[in-house]
Chains A and B, each alone.
Chain A
Amino acid sequence: MSRRTMNLRLRWRKAVSAVMLTLTGVCALVAVSVLFFILGYLVYHGGRSVNWNFFTKLPTPVGEAGGGMANAIVGSAKLLLLASLIGVPIGFLGGVYLAEFGGRGAGFVVRYCADLLNGAPSIVIGIFVYALLVLPFKHFSTVAGSFALGIMMIPITLRSTEEFLRGVPMSLREGAMALGASKWRAIATIIVPAAYRGILTAVLLALARVAGETAPLLFTAFNNRFWSSGWNQPTASLPVMIFTYAVAPYEDWHRQAWAAGLVLLALVLVVNVAARSILARGISVPRS
């Protein structure tokens, strides 16, 4: 090969390299820009409809303009509260068991089940809770919806609690032991406090994730045009309302769906950003 063709070939290879590397940059840009598209569209279509009425009024009957989603907002809050009461203790204490007490065999089984739950499609969780809590009692309820969301919170909380507890330096444990603390005392007063930022982050991320879940609520909490009259009654929630309103043929409902979408997304993103900023820089958030 002459020097000339060598040069040509090298130039060609360098050109290919530059083009392909630029393309990867374009890919990254496209992927990230989706986030801004989503935000932009929601603000554009939903911004005008997010007003005082949206947060304080009940939905109006079809054909009547105005109204809000107060019942859905309260419903979502109730669902999330009860879901946390179910999901966080199981996830947290289960995580403590895995990190501090768990043997190899038992640990493996628990971890395996948690991963299985984490990977299960949310609609399948909905079916399960329907069979467990809706069918026997013959009606949809807030409790059933919360249980479905709670189940979804467990694996995230559990695995991150374990991970962050394992990250606590051995010297801290040894220090506690040297001072004569029993194991549970060391866990309660030294180890868990040392890892609490990470655990709190994980809980918040889990909460943000289930806050937007729709599929498991469809046949557990169902929906409600009015205030839910009790924990054992069906309730409205923001995600289900967005779905119902978006697929309905009414213009006014679409407007409300956009507004609800904006509120939900804002909530989820704010919690996400807050959760991640709780963690000090340099510590990575474990992926759920």
Chain B
Amino acid sequence: MATTSATIPSAGPAAGSRSFLSRLRDGDEIARLITLIFAASVVLITVALVYQLWKDSALPRHAFGWRFFVTDVWDPVFDKFGALPFIYGTVVTSAVGLLIAVPLGLGAAIFLAELAPQKISDTLTFLIDLLAAVPSVIYGLLGIFILVPLLREYVQPALGKTLGFLPLFSGPPFGVGFLAAGIVLAIMVIPFIISVSREVLLSVPREQREAALSLGATRWESTWKVVVPFARTGIFGSIFLALARALGETMAVTMVIGNAPKISPSLFSPGYSIAAVIANEFTEATGDLYLQALIELGLVLFLLTFILNGLARLLILVTQRRGAGVHA
């Protein structure tokens, strides 16, 4: 790594034109080396993280192989570990979360980017940024004491009465469960969808809107049929970003999902998620296989978010490049 960077001229002006010795005398080589060490430590930490997760999940990987992901028995007493209930819970809660968050977030982003006067848009964006800074344990706190009772007393009985024939909304109203976790996740990822989508929408060239309007489109038609499709890839990027957040979210979900390793089609049913089971059982895990099964779950989570984040960044980049390209 050091060798490649030494041969490529650095960002500053004319750095490469002086001799190595004079740069050494001026302290430039020393400064480069020191900062390089710190930069390299970032790489080191990342490599160590992946290595540790891989190494410390060897037992269950050898013992269960791919069966780990498709069996649904989680019984530490008999050393049986199947991750399916947790994977199911993570997928279902994230899906519910996105189903609520995407329309709301996209709507708000359209308002902020296309409609609101600059001043109002800036103020609201500032508040949304603050919302993104609220710690997840606080969402969990409000989830337990405000949302869960609300769901148990009012929302779930009402849904059960009207839509109870669907397996989705059947069963007794516990309050805690997939639905509660999904709603909390939705609230938590909305700020991310809004701020990324807004930026992507703002990068759509003005001419696109003007052309649509001059052809007689209404304001909504120009937004929905021209601007949004133009920004589509970037908006998908923001959704992937939100999904990655939702999958890895731990505290808020742990506090409202009910912590029961069950696979149930009903959203009212208590469940469990990958992150939640790690948070709850990690310090109590007795035996290497148990602990390593939890670490393997962590590895799965890491890989999933890694893939989603990568895809998201790619999509957002593509859209912004395209916007800039048309503009030029």
Please list the residues of chain A having a beta carbon within 8 angstroms of any beta carbon in chain B. 13-14, 16-18, 20-21, 23-28, 30-32, 34-35, 37-38, 41-42, 45, 89-90, 92-94, 96-107, 109-110, 113-117, 119-128, 130-132, 151, 154-155, 158, 166, 170, 173-174, 177, 182-187, 205, 208-209, 211-215, 218-219, 222, 239, 242-243, 246-247, 254, 257-258, 261, 264-265, 268-269, 272-273, 276, 285, 287
Contact = CB atoms under 8 A, between A and B. Distances in A.
B110 interface: yes
Interface string B1-27: 110111110111111000000010011
B78 interface: no
A251 to B, nearest CB: 11
Contact of B1 (A41, A100, A109, A114): A109
24 contacts: A28-B107, A38-B131, A38-B138, A90-B42, A101-B5, A101-B32, A103-B5, A110-B43, A115-B309, A119-B305, A123-B248, A131-B52, A170-B13, A182-B23, A183-B28, A215-B275, A242-B137, A242-B141, A243-B140, A246-B255, A268-B134, A269-B134, A276-B129, A285-B129
B135 A213 contact: yes
Contacts of A273: 130
A123 B279 contact: yes
Interface residues of B, number: 103
A21 B218 CA distance: 11
Contacts of B134: 35, 38, 212, 265, 268-269
Contact of A272 (B8, B56, B103, B133): B133
Nearest to A18: B220
Nearest to B278: A123
Given A123-B278, A214-B137, A246-B144, A35 B32 contact: no
Nearest to B25: A182
Given A122-B248, A127-B282, A31 B5 contact: no
A106 B5 CA distance: 6
A123 B275 contact: yes
A173 B10 CA distance: 13
A167 B145 CA distance: 46
B108 A184 contact: no
B175 interface: no
Contacts of B2: 106
B14 A177 contact: yes
Interface in B107-144: 107-108, 110-112, 114-116, 124, 126-131, 133-142, 144
A212 B146 contact: no
Contacts of A117: 42, 45-46, 49
B295 A105 contact: no
A261 B41 contact: no
B244 interface: yes
Interface string B181-204: 000000100110011100000000
Contacts of B32: 97, 101
Contact of B305 (A120, A183, A276): A120
A31 B190 contact: yes
Contacts of B126: 276
A98 B40 CA distance: 11
B214 interface: no
A170 B13 CA distance: 8
A258 B114 CA distance: 38
A131 B26 contact: no
Contacts of B73: none
A130 B278 CA distance: 12
A211 B136 CA distance: 11
A124 B53 contact: yes
A173 B6 contact: no
B66 interface: no
Contacts of A20: 220, 224
B45 A24 contact: no
Contacts of A120: 49, 248, 302, 305-306
Contacts of B7: 103
A110 B6 CA distance: 15
B35 A97 contact: yes
Contacts of A130: 282
Given A31-B105, A121-B301, A158-B42, 16 more contacts: A16-B218, A17-B219, A21-B111, A25-B111, A27-B106, A28-B194, A31-B128, A32-B127, A35-B131, A38-B139, A98-B39, A102-B39, A106-B39, A116-B46, A119-B305, A186-B12
